[in-house]
């Protein structure tokens, strides 16, 4: 958690904006009669490049079963080749005309399935070897090397802390020593989990820990005890040189551990490269075999299905282009004929629904005009509220203040009280109009949304309330906050309203505000808590209603719009907000904001 001073804003690190994914599709292509939208089941398929130039198929005549006949004694070679060609064409015609599309497709799926099983078996083995080698490098050796370096840092912090305390006798120098011990235990725990199976690494780690324990017993703790007892720093360089000399074996042991990890990583990287080469060769062989399989299947599908389908597609495109009177003539296999009949039925249904669609479109245009007119009237109301209504109110407030300054003390106490009420009422009315105007503008004057750091927004809101924070001696704790997609000004207003409520509805102790966030599915869940007077559970819904107040205006000033505006801004950004009714001390408010598209960092 990070404590922000009342008058300073903490800048969050810049995070790269995560751009949303671009929908797939052909660039420049829009949905239309000839281009079905994505996700819809197309009634046609695109015609292949060679369709226009393909000759019209010759009607095929069923060939009767061949009769036994005597071979001529001497037949010319040309006649033999012609007869063989005719027999081949006849067999192809019987094959294409006799097999239904489902059988051809089933055969193709069977061939592809057998090939896929073979490819999965061979490629899966190579990929498993590559994954094993990669996991060993990425998930074991690299983290182990990192934590070994961190262990060295923690040990150096201990040595530096002891040396600094010995030379200065100031207890502040022992902080790195004790933090280094805690960090050492943490890094050792992680290293023991990672070094299982790494040759010699566990023994080297145990040697390092033994040397550290010896150094702590023979030098570090006695030096600390001696300086603490005397209250004076160590004079001369003998004791410091002794500590350095006793710490040098620890450095050497850590260096040997790191060198062993480097050697192990080089060996594992070599195995990883070998596995990658084997996988690449396997993928190349699979790709070539797949290409040959696809070519063979494509030739068979072309003769039996694609050519009839192209004719059906041409008819369907003509209907889709707007010629709903065009009759589709189905042909080819039974499945193609069924599709043609379905296209005819679809054409008839489109003709029947076209009139209803036009009527609905006219009604939609009328509603759009009403909405535009309503927005224009709302804009006019906002202008009147911000100018015409505030101008006479400013005059009333100004003249009441003039009367108060000029005749204060000259009239009786009752007159002074009346003037005070008039000035206060004018000011409250002006604040109410300004808040109501800001409430009405939320979501109506939409700005460009961009990735914004919530940590920066909280810091800005805290800086805006710095005078109030200093006056109440308030503090704030800010956890790790994410980057979200939104409007910075509106989200700053959310945090500023919540912080202002925490400062306003404070208890006897100085206000203490805590802000944190964690991942909750596709959203970020924010927690905003304080140590104030709290909110009763029965008012959990009422506090977010505009103009609803739970306290007297004299005790807690305000217009009663703050939390209503917070709720409107949160819902405008696609989130929700609610009161935690389980809290008994202070108040805690939860709200959600959608995470950036593609953001998988659950820790923020």
Query: 454-488 pLDDT, tens per residue?
Result: 999 999 899 988 888 888 888 999 999 999 998 88
Measured distance CA(51)–CA(164) in Å, rounded:
86
Q: What is the DSSP letter of 412?
A: -
Whether residue 132 is found in the same domain as residue 265 = yes
Structural domain ending residue among the three candidates 282, 315, 346: 282
**CA pair distance 265, 351, nearest whole angstrom:** 70
Is 455 domain-assigned? yes
Are residues 464 and 549 part of one domain? yes
Residue 304 lies in a domain: no
Angstrom distance (rounded) from CA 189 to CA 201: 14
Phi, psi for residue 189 in degrees, rounded to 5:
-60, -45
Cα 50 to Cα 47: distance, rounded to the nearest angstrom: 8
pLDDT confidence tier of residue 151, bands split at 50, 70 and 90: confident
Q: Which two tokens stand for residue 153?
A: 């840092």
Residue 82 lies in a domain: no
Q: What is the CATH number of the domain that holds 539?
A: 3.30.565.10
pLDDT digits (tens, 9 = 90+) for 396-420: 778 777 877 777 767 777 777 777 7
Tokens standing for residue 390: 């505030």
524 inside domain: yes
CA dist., res. 579 & res. 544, Å (int): 9
Best CA proximity match to 152, nearest among 243, 220, 254: 254
C-beta separation of 462 from 498 below 8 A: no
417 and 482 both lie in a single domain? no
Q: Which of 305, 296, 302 is nearest to 102 (CA)?
A: 305
What is the rounded distance in angstroms from the CA atom of residue 305 to the CA atom of residue 426? Answer: 83
pLDDT of residue 314: 80
DSSP state for residue 274 in the 8-state scheme: H
Confidence of residue 331 (pLDDT cuts 50, 70, 90): low
Instruction: Report strand pairing: 475-478 vs 512-520.
Output: parallel
Can you tell me which residue has the tokens 């589709």?
A: 328
Q: Residue 371: is its pLDDT beyond 80? A: yes
Residues 133 and 263 occupy one common structural domain = yes
What per-residue confidence (pLDDT) applies to 453? 92
Least confident among 367-381, 412-426, 427-441, 508-522 = 427-441
Inter-CA distances, 244 with 162, 221, 240, 516, Å: 11, 14, 6, 44
* Together in a domain, 189 and 254: yes
Contacts 24+ apart (CB under 8 A), 372-376: 375/444
Residue 144 lies in a domain: yes
- Rounded to an integer, what distance in angstroms lies between the CA atom of residue 491 and that of residue 571? 11
How is residue 459 written in tokens? 């810091």
Tokens of 570: 């949160």
Please give the pLDDT value at position 556: 60
Residues 128 and 265 in one domain: yes
- How many domains, the chain? 3
Residue 74 pLDDT more than 70?
A: no
Read off the DSSP letter of residue 10.
P
Predicted confidence band at 342 (pLDDT cuts at 50, 70, 90)? Answer: confident
Q: What residue numbers bound the domain in which 584 lies?
A: 446-594
Domain boundary among 218, 251, 282: 282
Claim to verify: residue 464 and residue 536 sit in the same structural domain = yes
Within a domain: residue 104?
no
Residue 419 CB coordination number (10 Å): 18
pLDDT band (50, 70, 90) for residue 525: very high
Same domain for 456 and 415? no
Q: Mean pLDDT over all residues of the chain?
A: 75
**428 inside domain:** yes
Residue 513 and residue 569 share a domain = yes
From residue 181, alpha-carbon distances to 146, 156, 178, 209, 255 in Å are 18, 10, 5, 11, 19
The residue that leads in pLDDT, 26 or 403, is 403
Whether the per-residue pLDDT at 195 is higher than 60: the answer is yes
| Contact (Cβ atoms closer than 8 angstroms) between residue 577 and residue 562 | no
Instruction: Assess whether 460 and 486 both reside in one domain.
Output: yes
DSSP secondary structure of 96-129: HHHS-HHHHHHHHHHHHHHHHHHHHHHHHHHHHH
| Exposure string for 557-580, b = 16+ CB within 10 A, e = fewer | ebbbbbbbbbbbbbeebebebebe
pLDDT bracket for residue 527 (50, 70, 90): very high
CA 552, distance to chain mean position in Å, is 44
**CA diameter of the chain:** 146
CB 322 within 8 A of CB 351: no
Contacts of 583 (CB under 8 A, 6+ apart): 529, 534
Residue after which a domain boundary falls, among 441, 457, 475: 441
Cα separation, 386 vs 434, in Å, equals: 7
The enclosing domain of 196 has a CATH number of: 1.20.120
Whether residues 435 and 558 fall in one domain:
no
């Amino acid at each position: 958690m990070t404590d922000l001073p009342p008058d300073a804003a903490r800048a969050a690190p810049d995070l790269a904006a995560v751009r949303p994914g671009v929908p797939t599709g052909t660039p420049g292509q829009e949905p239309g009669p000839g281009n079905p939208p994505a996700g819809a089941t197309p009634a046609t398929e695109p015609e292949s490049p060679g369709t226009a130039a393909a000759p019209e198929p010759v009607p095929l005549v069923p060939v009767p079963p061949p009769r036994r006949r005597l071979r001529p004694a001497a037949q010319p070679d040309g006649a033999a080749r012609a007869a063989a060609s005719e027999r081949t064409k006849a067999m192809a015609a019987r094959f294409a005309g006799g097999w239904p599309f489902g059988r051809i497709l089933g055969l193709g799926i069977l061939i592809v399935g057998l090939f896929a099983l073979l490819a999965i078996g061979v490629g899966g083995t190579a990929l498993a070897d590559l994954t094993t080698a990669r996991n060993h490098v990425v998930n074991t050796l690299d983290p182990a090397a990192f934590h070994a370096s961190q262990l060295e840092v923690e040990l150096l912090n201990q040595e530096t802390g002891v040396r600094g305390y010995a030379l200065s006798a100031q207890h502040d120098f022992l902080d790195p020593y004790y933090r280094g011990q805690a960090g050492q235990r943490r890094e050792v725990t992680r290293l023991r989990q990672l070094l299982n199976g790494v040759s010699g690494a566990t023994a080297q780690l145990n040697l390092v820990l033994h040397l550290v324990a010896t150094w702590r017993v023979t030098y570090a703790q006695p030096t600390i005890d001696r300086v603490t007892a005397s209250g004076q720093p160590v004079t001369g360089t003998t004791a410091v040189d002794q500590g350095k000399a006793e710490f040098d074996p620890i450095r050497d042991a850590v260096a040997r551990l790191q060198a062993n990890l480097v050697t192990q990583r080089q060996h594992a990287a070599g195995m990883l490269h070998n596995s990658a080469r084997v996988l690449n060769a396997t993928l190349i062989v699979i790709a070539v075999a797949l290409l040959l399989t696809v070519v063979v299947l494509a030739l068979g599908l072309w003769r039996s299905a694609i050519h009839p389908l192209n004719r059906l597609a041409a008819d369907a495109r003509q209907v889709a282009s707007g010629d709903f009177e065009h009759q589709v003539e189905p042909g080819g296999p039974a499945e193609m004929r069924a599709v043609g009949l379905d296209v005819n039925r679809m054409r008839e249904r489109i003709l029947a629904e076209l009139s209803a669609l036009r009527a609905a479109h006219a009604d939609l245009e009328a509603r759009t005009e009403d909405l535009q007119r309503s927005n224009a009237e709302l804009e006019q109301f906002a202008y009147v509220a911000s100018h015409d209504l505030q101008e006479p109110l400013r005059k009333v407030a100004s003249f009441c203040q003039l009367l108060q300054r000029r005749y204060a003390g000259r009239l009786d106490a009752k007159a002074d009280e009346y003037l005070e009420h008039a000035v206060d009422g004018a000011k409250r009315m002006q604040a109410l109009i300004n808040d109501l105007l800001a409430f009405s503008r939320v979501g109506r004057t939409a700005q460009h949304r961009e990735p914004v750091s919530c940590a920066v927004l909280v810091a800005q809101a805290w800086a805006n309330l710095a005078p109030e924070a200093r006056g109440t001696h308030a503090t704030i704790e800010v956890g790790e906050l994410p980057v979200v997609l939104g409007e910075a000004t509106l989200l700053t207003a959310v945090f500023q309203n919540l912080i202002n409520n925490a400062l306003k509805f404070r208890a006897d102790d100085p206000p203490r505000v805590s802000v944190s966030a964690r991942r909750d599915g596709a959203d970020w869940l924010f927690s905003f808590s304080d140590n104030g007077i709290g909110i009763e559970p029965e008012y959990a819904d009422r506090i977010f209603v505009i103009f609803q107040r739970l306290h007297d205006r004299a005790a807690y000033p305000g217009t009663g719009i703050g939390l209503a505006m917070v709720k409107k801004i949160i819902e405008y950004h696609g989130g929700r907000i609610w009161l935690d009714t389980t809290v008994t001390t202070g108040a805690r408010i939860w709200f959600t904001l959608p995470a950036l598209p593609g953001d998988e960092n659950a820790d923020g």
